[in-house]
Amino acid sequence: MRPPLAIAHRAGNSLAGLRRANELGVDVIECDVHAGRDHLEVRHLKTAGPLPFLWDRWELASASAPRLGLHELLEADQHGAVFMLDLKGRRAGMAEAVADLLHEGRREVIACGRWWPAVDRLARLPFVRPVLSVRNRVELGRLRRRLASPSTTTPTPYGVSVHRTLLTPTLVAELHDAVEIVMTWPVNDVAALDAVLGLGVSGVISDEADVLAELLLRRS
């Protein structure tokens, strides 16, 4: 059995985060991809319609502040990092825009998201590994139905990313029978790391460098 992947959550949302993740030596660098005004952006903060700010819970930022583009992020990487592109929103043209950008460099990536049509669209590319994300029990039920009854019109996912609160040993075993990689988040302390490794997951998504470093140490 392969060692579990160390995945740096949101590290690709800034060039500083990219640098730190590469220095740590993680397996995968995750970033949040949004369709911006005229290009693809990587950021966690969300827009607020016509209001002049970006937001997320207790965080605000000016909407006029510079925003990192996905093209800039991919060009800035000098280490051959594996990126996991978390596709945000439900814009119909977003998957096409990402596909066009990836075609330029033929770069292998993981594409994930809770809106599966965008992930399925990118999965048509031979260098994209699709991961279906699940945050709640309704989405989990839909995932189990899809995996239990594969369709010729939708691609077979490379993996799944399931919120930690939904996992049980039985579910993890069931998912492993259907896909190659079973990821989970958030895993932001060592107790949570011990718990998910005990369940048998094969990908750990964490915001915390010390948790990722501990995982890498245990694998060495």
Give the pLDDT score at 177. 96
Which residues of the chain carry a pLDDT beneath 70?
Answer: 1, 37, 44-66, 105-106
Domains and CATH numbers, the chain: 5-219 (3.20.20.190)
Residue 154 exposure: Cα atoms within 13 Å on the Cβ side: 18
Nearest C-alpha neighbor of 132 from the set 113, 156, 109:
113
pLDDT of residue 79: 84
pTM confidence score: 0.89
Q: Which two tokens stand for residue 79?
A: 């280490």
- Give the C-alpha separation, 58 to 40, whole Å: 24
> What values do phi and psi take at 182, rounded to 5?
-115, 110
Q: Which of 93, 46, 108, 97 is nearest to 70 (CA)?
A: 97
Asked whether the beta carbons of 18 and 29 are under 8 A apart, the reply is yes
